[in-house]
Amino acid sequence: MGRYSLNATRREDLAKPMADGAQPTSVAPRLELDFASDLLSLTKSWLIRFGYAIGPEQEGLQILYRYLDIMHRLVPAFPRQIHRPRGFKVPDRHKSGFDCLIHKVTKGKDLTPHLSKRTKISAKYDGLLDDWDIMHFHVGARRDPDGSVARTNDVLFARVTNTEFFICGFWPHKQWGLRDILEVIHQNWPASIAQWKSPMPMRGDVPSNDAIIESRATGMQPLVPLSDGTVYFSIGGGITTAGVGTGIVERADRWISWVRQLEESVRNEYSKRWKEWTSQCATVPERVRFVFDFEEPYVVAREHSMRIQIRIGQIPPWAT
């Protein structure tokens, strides 16, 4: 956000007028702000509330990485156009579950029941998504007790955008480095991934499925030549040596930069208005601490000792 609209709001039922005989202070109470820490606390609370596992090793930015990774894996509920590759056939055993999934995709319904259950119980990142921007969906015909569709040995691989659903096909579970998946996208809809195409074709040995997966685990994305020698750079953005998706790290940096800017805005507002605010306090505190929070569609800063809430601005589209 380039500009911030700072509107201090005081709820009348929370206001505490200065006591009779009290004198306004001439020294501003010490201001304390740590919006980055507040953001991490909020994301941790959200993860716990919705049942996502947080390991003891996940502290600091790792909490934000975990939150942003989950947001990256969840498919926003938008209606999408279905694209089927040439020669695609649905195995009879999966037809019912496939039809259910496709209905949800076209109607913009929640696809979470079809996603991996391990997202909830494991902090392991999705290398296939972070490297090739490919997701996988379970298409069981029945529901498990937790609401998820029944797990299937074969899963549907697809590339998903906000408007389109490119079906790659059915393959056995855990085929996360199978070149054939990327080959389908290249052969059927090359324009959809043209921006990641290498200008130079490549010939040579093709790394195995296992080799590709192992390379991703070390933060490397091997260039994989397709049948005609075409090579694509990482469509999903890539993976860092820490195993975290590059896009996740970039989004985390943007979040932290944003809340630091909001912090500075509150500092400026406090320097202008502290006398006004403290004049309405029965007892002027020695220090005040504004806490960052969301009050959709706004972001706010709350100070409890003075019972002040500042509406800092609107939540930007990239943060939703």
Look up tokens 């406090």; give the residue.
Answer: 270
With 60 as the cut, is the pLDDT of residue 1 above it?
Answer: no
When pLDDT is averaged across residues 185-203 and rounded to a whole number, the result is 93
Is residue 12 within 8 Å of 314, Cβ to Cβ?
no
Pick 150 or 10 by higher pLDDT: 150
Selection from 121, 107, 103 nearest residue 53 by Cα: 121
Q: How many other C-beta atoms can be found within 10 angstroms of the C-beta atom of residue 169?
A: 19
With 50 as the cut, is the pLDDT of residue 9 above it?
Answer: no
> What 3-state DSSP class applies to 132?
helix
130 Cβ neighbours under 8 A, 6+ residues apart: 216, 234, 236, 237, 238, 239, 245, 246, 247, 248
pLDDT in tens, 131-148: 999 999 999 988 888 888
| pLDDT value, residue 24 | 55
Q: β-strand 164-172 against 81-83: which pairing, if any?
A: parallel
The residues facing 135 across adjacent strands are 158
State the pTM of this model. 0.83
With 70 as the cut, is the pLDDT of residue 282 above it?
Answer: yes
| pLDDT value, residue 148 | 87
Is residue 24 within 8 Å of 275, Cβ to Cβ?
yes
Is residue 35 within 8 Å of 265, Cβ to Cβ?
no
| pLDDT value, residue 6 | 44
Q: How many other C-beta atoms can be found within 10 angstroms of the C-beta atom of residue 34?
A: 15
With 50 as the cut, is the pLDDT of residue 211 above it?
Answer: yes
What string of DSSP letters covers 40-96? HHHHHHHHHHTT----TT--THHHHHHHHHHHHHS------EEE--TT----GGGHH
Asked if residue 24 has a cis previous peptide bond (ω within 30° of 0), the answer is: no
Structure tokens at 302: 């709350």
Question: pLDDT confidence of 242, banded at 50, 70, 90?
Answer: confident
| pLDDT value, residue 146 | 80
The residues facing 295 across adjacent strands are 298
When pLDDT is averaged across residues 3-17 and rounded to a whole number, the result is 39
d(CA 220, CA 212): 9
pLDDT in tens, 14-44: 334 444 444 455 788 999 999 999 999 999 9
| pLDDT value, residue 43 | 93
When pLDDT is averaged across residues 269-282 and rounded to a whole number, the result is 87
Is residue 276 within 8 Å of 97, Cβ to Cβ?
no
Question: pLDDT confidence of 253, banded at 50, 70, 90?
Answer: very high
Selection from 113, 123, 133, 120 nearest residue 176 by Cα: 133
With 80 as the cut, is the pLDDT of residue 168 above it?
Answer: yes
Strands lying side by side in the sheet with 298-303: 7-9, 308-314, 298-303, 287-295, 30-33
Structure tokens at 272: 């202008």
| Cα of 217 vs its chain's centroid, Å | 20
| pLDDT value, residue 79 | 97
CA angle 261, 263, 268 (to 5 degrees): 95
Structure tokens at 67: 């939150």
276 Cβ neighbours under 8 A, 6+ residues apart: none
Selection from 154, 195, 149 nearest residue 174 by Cα: 154
Question: pLDDT confidence of 320, banded at 50, 70, 90?
Answer: confident
pLDDT in tens, 70-114: 999 999 999 999 999 999 999 999 999 999 999 999 999 999 999
Selection from 103, 98, 170 nearest residue 139 by Cα: 98
* Mean of pLDDT over the chain: 87
